[in-house]
Structures are given as structure tokens and as C-alpha cells.
Structure 1
Amino acid sequence: LHLHHEDFTGQYGKFYGSYRDAAWYINQKAAFEAAAREMGYAKVSQQKGAVAQSIAAYVNAGGFLFAMCSATDSYDIALAAINTDICEPMFDGDGMTPGAAYAMDYSATFAFDNFELFTNPMRYEYSNIDVTEQRVRSMKEPQDFFELFDFSAKYDVVPTILVQNHTDLVRGFYGQTTAYRPATIKSSTTILGKSVVDGAARYIHGSYGEGYWTFYGGHDPEDYQHRVGDPPTDLNNHPNSPGYRLILNNILFPAAKKPPQKT
């Protein structure tokens, strides 16, 4: 299962502050609400949470999840908040659960724990998992690279497959969720690549039950600061993109077969 620019929290991408009067935002919100009602849910956040749990069950049973951008941190936040209302009234019609930020169940998440929720609806950020806000102030494109780690194919078959590339240095790129604060990453998570400058994790992986997941920060490896309304990237112009190669690794990974061990 491949996910990209998704918001599993029911906050409509946290676009309220900048785009609440835009026609596309109003129409999208109405479409999400109609879909939730059609599926029997009173709120979009409840529907999204149920979808997140279904995905977790799929991975637990042996499935593989690859997610990018806000489909990564918002997914874990939704799992942690499955029994807690973290949405302000402009998102779901009523207030948050009192003390919602302190009621997260981190045991339900894939990659992150002990994170701080950002509940201000005017703030274009879900939590302190993502480091985009601090990077915007300090990171410059010429210095923005992340480094892929080396793994032993003998002992770490899956990470070895996922970091295959023609270079160990990959150009960074922004997304709503760009990179992950190390302090919020579970010890069970494998970091596949991290920023050369600030040490933020860009590419992470782990197992969940019988399955696997991979999270990749950023929106488009060949569009450094992709913004709402930007045209799609022409993939034909980037046949040797290291950033796209990592996406391809995750597409091909489920087809890989682990050789039988000699006994």
C-alpha cells in the first residue's frame, strides 16, 4: 500500500489557516464529510482513524506500507489519538477532548512516540515530529542533502534493498512533512537516511506484526519546494533521480524473496 499527501487526523491537511476560503478547500472538506457520512461515521476524523486502524491490521497480517510526506506523521498521530478528539470545532463541529495532547497512546504507533501535538488550527503543522518549520529558517538548498546508511545484506536484507542507489548522498526536498525529529522516533525504528546538516531522519523503516512499513519525508524529490497549485513534475526529465530511486525501491521491495537459510 502506497500513500502520499494524506491527513489521517481529520484536520484537512492543516490548511485552514491559509486556504479556508479557497474553493478547492471548501469543496474538498465537503467531499470528505459526505464520504464519512456515507460510510456511517459522524466525523471525518473518525472515518480516517478507522482507515488508519485497517491499514495497521493489514500490515500486522503481513502487508507492506510505504508512505511519504504527511501520510507518515499524520498516520501515527491518528493511531495514537484513536480514542481522543484532537480536532478543533472548525474541523469536526465540536471541541477537542480536554487534555488531548496528554492522552496519546504511543503503543499503537508504528514509528513515533513522545511527540507533542500542535493543536492550533492556524498552524500548518501537526506536531513536533516534523522539523519543517525550523528548516525553513536555517536550511539552504545547496547544502540540503541526506545520507543513506550502509547495511549488510547478510544480516539486514530489507534495509539493504531499501537503500540501494547509485549515490549515498541524496538531495533534500521539502514537503508538509519533510524530516523527522530524532527525539520522537521509537528505538525500534531503523533510520535508513538522515540529513547531513541537522541530523533529522529523512527515511525510516520498521516492522509491525508480520509486515513492514517505510516512511519517507518530503513531497517530491525533484521539486525542492512543492507548493499548492504547482504543476506535476515531468518524470521523463529525471531518469536518474536518486530520490525517485528510493521510491522505486519500495515499489519493488514486496517482490523480493528472502533466500532460504541453510540448516
Structure 2
Amino acid sequence: MKLWIDFIYLSRYPFFRNMSKRLYISLAFVLLLALEATANQVLVPMDDAQKNHLKAYGVAYWVLQHQQEVDWLLNYRGGSFGFGQTDLFEEELRARGVSYTLLTDAQYSRLLEEIADPDVNMDVMKLEKVPMIAVYSPKTHQPWDDAVTLVLNYAEIPYDHVFDEEVLAKKLPRYDWLHLHHEDFTGQYGKSGRRHGEWLMSQQMESEGVARRYGYEKVSQMKLGVVKEIKAFVAGGGFMFAMCSATDTYDIALAANGVDIVDELYDGDGVDPEAQQKLDFSQSLAFKDFEVYLGPYSHEFSSIDNERRERGLYEENDFFSLFTFSAKWDQIPSMLTQNHEKTIRGFMGQTTAFKKQHVKSAATVMGATEEAGEVRYLNGSIGNGTWTFYGGHDPEDYWHMPGEEPTDLALHPNSPGYRLILNNILFPAAKKKKPKT
């Protein structure tokens, strides 16, 4: 553009006025070609050409922080990103080791025309808002790490920590996105029993103190209050993402509203002998018709989780498939399943996978192991908001156990399992489109 402005300015001088018309037009044409060849757009490919998929999400977030819209090119080369070129953006891409290509305006326009073709399963989703992110996590030390926190740190995406007090103090509306990981919302401390005695005692002291301050007699009642606040946050337009035991225990707590399902070991009194009959599945988000397990030492909370002995799957053959959605019609699941691979290596957790028969029909299944009759990745909505449940604990550590060293994501910069987490983090940045009818 500067070349053209300079040409117009110089054309006022006598040298240009005395130039032959043919030469003048030729020079103008050359300058127009030079202008068209100027690289004004950045394309960040997200297929196998990308050296660091996880850092690429962080760059997209960082560009949004600099008041620049980002095009999320759904189903184009693995869900690539496009945005206007600046020297600052290029410096950041190089510093983070993210692969990119420069395009002229004309090239980028042709790319957008290709995506807009009604016969191709692609679309452009405008990212225009910087999502405010909160991670729900205990203040005290935990014997396990958190995959979402790990990938947020690696991708250099900022977030705040919140826990029960912040939720009960109604601070969630200041955020767009809330992550829940490896939490037990039933008030049974992950059914840890005596396996993590020191941690259990610290958690009980912390949780009982919060319960007293907010007028609850039991931790299970306080956790139910937290669950209801989170549900209201989602219904009001928030986005909730949960992994591992934060998925099924969240729904169990909703279904067991007012029913004592917590053993004496954890709250000082016994369970309601009619607890199963009193569950209200109309209150849960994702799951239905499950049996709640009342034993204090059972590693499982309910029949929702497809237990290891039932699955017939082991590390060498544990995979799940991502489903393909229409980018032009089903933007939400399309965004949440963007990836350079469609077959994802499975991974264990206290809650690993969801039995298909317990998933509500209103939920959208986005990833599953059909032969095992299990769902690994699903999404749904309530009110104006959206939720996603993702089974398992760490996408790059199949048997991740408490006390082990955190996964070093520098060794897994192209992890398709971790990409699913980052898809969810960018989702709230999208400009919502009107539903097509």
C-alpha cells in the first residue's frame, strides 16, 4: 500500500507529467503487481507441516490479546489459523517455534473462497474475544498434576486459579471459561480412603473450613452448592470443560441433590439406604440411568465409567476416533474436534471413559471407542452456555499415577490428545454465528 501512495505522490512532479502515457501506465501496472505480491497475511498450518501445534494455540491467543482478529479455518489443513501480518507477530511465531507461511491478500482471498465453497466441508470461524480463563483447583498440594494447567503453561496462555470459596462468592461471571480436573464433587475426596492419608487430612481441613464459613453442615452439601453455582455459570453463557473424575462426579452430585451418598468414613454418618431410588437424572447434564456406588473404598463412583476390567483395552490397543462434523452447520463440535489426526491414543484416569448407554441423547458424542461401547469426548449445552467432558487424566501418559513427575510437553509439541483441550480453550473466543435454518 505504501508503494502505491508514494507513486501517487511522485506523479505530481514534472518528470511524471512529461512521461509518455504508455510508460506511465506500464509503471503503474508494475507497482500494482508489486503491491499484490506484498505478504499481508499469516497462515499458521495445523496439519503435519506444523512443528509445534500446542504453541500455535498460544500464538493465536496472544494475537487476540493484541487486538487482532484471528480466522480459525475449520477443516482446512487440520484447523489452521490466519491473521494479518506484522513484524511483531512474525517475531513471536519464530520465538515460539511455530511454523507459518506468508500470503498475499490475493492468495488469502482465494483461500477463503475455496473454504466458502458450499461443496467442501470447511468454514471460517472468527476469533475476536480474549477468553478469560479460570482453573478450578485446590489451594493445598495435590498428589497429581493437571493436564489443562500443564498445556496452558506450555502454550503460554494466562489463567487464574479458583476454588470453592471463589465459586461460592459468585466470582465465576468474570470468566468465560472454567476448567474442572480430577475433582470429586460428591464430597468423598476421590474415594482416596487411606491411600493418600496426609493429602486426605489436608483436604478435609480445607473443605470443612470452607463449608463452615458458608453455612454448610457437610462438605458434600458445600460441594453441591459449588456444583449449582457452576451450572448457573454455564446456563448464563459460560463454558465449562471437565476431565477425569470431574466429569462423572459433577453429574452424580447434581442427580443426588439432597440425597446422602457419602459414607461415614468421609462425613461422619452413613448413606441413605434408598439413595439409588432417589437419584434425579433430569438434573444431570450428560449422564442418565447410572448406578451410584456407595462403598467408601471403591475406586469407582458409579456405573458411568467403563472400568478397566470391562473395557478389554490396554495401552497398545487403546484408541478412540474423533467424529467428523459439518463445519458450515455444526460449528461447535467442528471447532472442538479440529486436529491433524482423527485417531487419538487413549489414556487412563480415575474416570477414563463413559459407557454409551449412560450418555443422554441430547449430548453430542465427539469421540468414542465404538468396539468398547464407550464415549471419550462429548459436548452439550444448557441455557446460553456450553460444556465438554473429556475422559482420562493425561493424554501423553497412559498410566499417570499420583506422585509422578508432570509430563514434559516439550517432548510432545504435536500431541493430538492435548490439542482437544486447546480447542476448548479457544472456543469462547469465537464470534457466535446465528443457527442456520
Asked if these proteins are the same fold (TM beyond 0.5), I'd say yes
Once the two structures are superposed, what CA deviation does each residue of 1:167-210 show, in whole Å capped at 9, x if it has no partner?
00000000000000011110101100001541310000001111
Aligned residue in 1 for 2:195? 19
1:19 and 1:193 map into 2 onto residues whose CA distance is: 32
2:428 pairs with 1:254:
yes
2:412 pairs with 1:238:
yes
For 2:290, the aligned partner's letter is F
Residues 71-90 of structure 1: matches in 2 within 5 Å? 71-90=246-265
1:253 and 1:9 map into 2 onto residues whose CA distance is: 28
For 2:376, the aligned partner's letter is R
Aligned residue in 1 for 2:291? 116
**Structure 1 residue 155 displacement after superposition:** 1.6
Judging changes above 3 Å, is the alpha-carbon distance between structure 1 residues 261 and 194 closer, same or farther for their aligned structure 2 residues? closer
Q: Is the 8 A contact 2:181 2:242 kept in 1?
A: yes
Residues 1-263 of structure 1: matches in 2 within 5 Å? 1-16=178-193, 18-19=194-195, 22-135=197-310, 138-195=312-369, 197-259=371-433
DSSP 3-state at the match of 1:90: helix
Aligned residue in 1 for 2:102? none
2:432 and 2:234 map into 1 onto residues whose CA distance is: 18
**Structure 1 residue 211 displacement after superposition:** 0.8
2:240 and 2:435 map into 1 onto residues whose CA distance is: 26
1:203 and 1:182 map into 2 onto residues whose CA distance is: 11
After TM superposition, the runs of 4+ consecutive aligned structure 1 residues lying more than 4 A away are 260-263
232-241 or 168-177, larger mean C-alpha shift? 232-241
Q: Is the 8 A contact 1:69 1:219 kept in 2?
A: yes
1:248 and 1:135 map into 2 onto residues whose CA distance is: 30
145-154 or 194-203, larger mean C-alpha shift? 194-203
In structure 1, runs of 5+ residues without a counterpart are none
Work out which of the two has the higher radius of gyration on C-alpha atoms and give 1 or 2.
Answer: 2
For 1:14, the aligned partner's letter is K
For 1:3, the aligned partner's letter is L
For 1:212, the aligned partner's letter is T
Judging changes above 3 Å, is the alpha-carbon distance between structure 1 residues 41 and 164 closer, same or farther for their aligned structure 2 residues? same
Q: Is the 8 A contact 2:329 2:436 kept in 1?
A: no
Q: Is the 8 A contact 1:5 1:71 kept in 2?
A: yes
Q: Is the 8 A contact 2:191 2:298 kept in 1?
A: yes
Q: Is the 8 A contact 2:180 2:241 kept in 1?
A: yes
1:102 and 1:189 map into 2 onto residues whose CA distance is: 24
Aligned residue in 1 for 2:31? none
Q: Is the 8 A contact 1:143 1:197 kept in 2?
A: no
Judging changes above 3 Å, is the alpha-carbon distance between structure 1 residues 208 and 43 closer, same or farther for their aligned structure 2 residues? same
In structure 2, runs of 5+ residues without a counterpart are 1-177
Q: Is the 8 A contact 1:132 1:174 kept in 2?
A: no
1:183 and 1:79 map into 2 onto residues whose CA distance is: 19
Identity of aligned residues (%): 55
**Structure 1 residue 133 displacement after superposition:** 3.6
1:183 and 1:88 map into 2 onto residues whose CA distance is: 27
Q: Is the 8 A contact 1:76 1:109 kept in 2?
A: yes
**TM-score, normalising length: structure 1:** 0.95
For 1:238, the aligned partner's letter is H
**Structure 1 residue 139 displacement after superposition:** 1.6
**Structure 1 residue 97 displacement after superposition:** 1.9
Q: Tell me how large the CA RMSD over aligned residues is.
A: 1.6
**TM-score, normalising length: structure 2:** 0.58
DSSP 3-state at the match of 1:201: strand
223-232 or 247-256, larger mean C-alpha shift? 223-232
For 1:175, the aligned partner's letter is G
DSSP 3-state at the match of 1:186: coil
182-191 or 195-204, larger mean C-alpha shift? 195-204
2:427 and 2:299 map into 1 onto residues whose CA distance is: 33
Once the two structures are superposed, what CA deviation does each residue of 1:23-69 show, in whole Å capped at 9, x if it has no partner?
22222222222222122211110000000001111111111111000
2:195 and 2:387 map into 1 onto residues whose CA distance is: 32
Highest RCO, 1 vs 2 (Cα 8 Å, sep ≥ 6): 1
1:43 and 1:127 map into 2 onto residues whose CA distance is: 21
